[in-house]
Amino acid sequence: MATSQAAYLAEKTIGHDGSAITAQDVTNYGGEAGKEETMKALCWMGKNSVEVRDVPKPKIIEPNDVILKVTGSTVCGSDLHLYHGTVIQLNKGDILGHEFCGIVDEVGSAVKKVQKGKRYVASFQIACGDCFFCKQKLSSQCERTSANTTQRAMYGGQTAGMFGYSHFTGGFAGGQAEYVRVPLGDVNLLEIPDGVPDEKALYLSDVLATSYNAVHDTAVYPGDQVAIFGAGPIGQMAGVFAIKAGATKIIFVDTEPRLTFIREHWPSDHADKLELVDYKKLSFGVTNKPTVVSKLKDLCGGRGPDAAIEVSNTSLHRL
Is residue 274 domain-resident?
Answer: yes
Residues 22 and 100 placed together within one structural domain of the fold: yes
pLDDT band at residue 133 under the 50/70/90 scheme:
very high
Measured distance CA(143)–CA(297) in Å, rounded: 41
Q: Examine the pLDDT at 29 and tell me if it is beyond 80.
A: no
Does residue 260 sit in the same domain as residue 185?
Answer: no
Distance CA 294, CA 58 (A): 54
The helix/strand count (H/E) of the chain reads as 10, 14
- DSSP string of 26-69? BSSSSSS--SS-EEEEEEEEETTEEEEEEEEPP---STT-EEEE
- What's the pLDDT tens digit per position in 294-313? 999 999 999 999 999 999 87
pLDDT higher at 155 or 304: 304
What's the average model confidence in pLDDT over 50-73? 97
pLDDT beyond 50 at 53: yes
Least confident of 223-227, 296-300, 314-318: 314-318
pLDDT band at 318 (very low <50, low <70, confident <90, very high): very low
In the prediction, which pLDDT does 316 show?
46
Assess whether pLDDT exceeds 80 at residue 5: no
Residue 318 lies in a domain: no
Phi, psi of 134 (to 5 degrees): -60, -40
**Whether the predicted pLDDT of 1 surpasses 80:** no
Q: CATH no. for residue 198? A: 3.90.180.10
* 200 and 66 assigned to the same domain: yes
315 found inside a domain? no
Report the percent of the chain where pLDDT is more than 70.
91
End-to-end CA distance of the chain: 11
More confident position, 93 or 29:
93
Record the pTM: 0.86
Q: Which residues contact 20 (CB under 8 A, 6 or more apart)?
A: 144, 145, 146, 147, 161, 170
Q: Of 205, 220, 239, which residue is a domain's last? A: 205
Q: How many domains does the chain have?
A: 2
Return d(Cα 60, Cα 107) in angstroms, integer. 7
- Name the pLDDT band for 319 (thresholds 50, 70, 90): very low
Q: What is the pLDDT of residues 6-25, one digit of tens each?
A: 555 656 666 677 788 898 88
Domain end call among 205, 229, 246 = 205
The residue out of 154, 184, 205 marking a domain boundary is 205
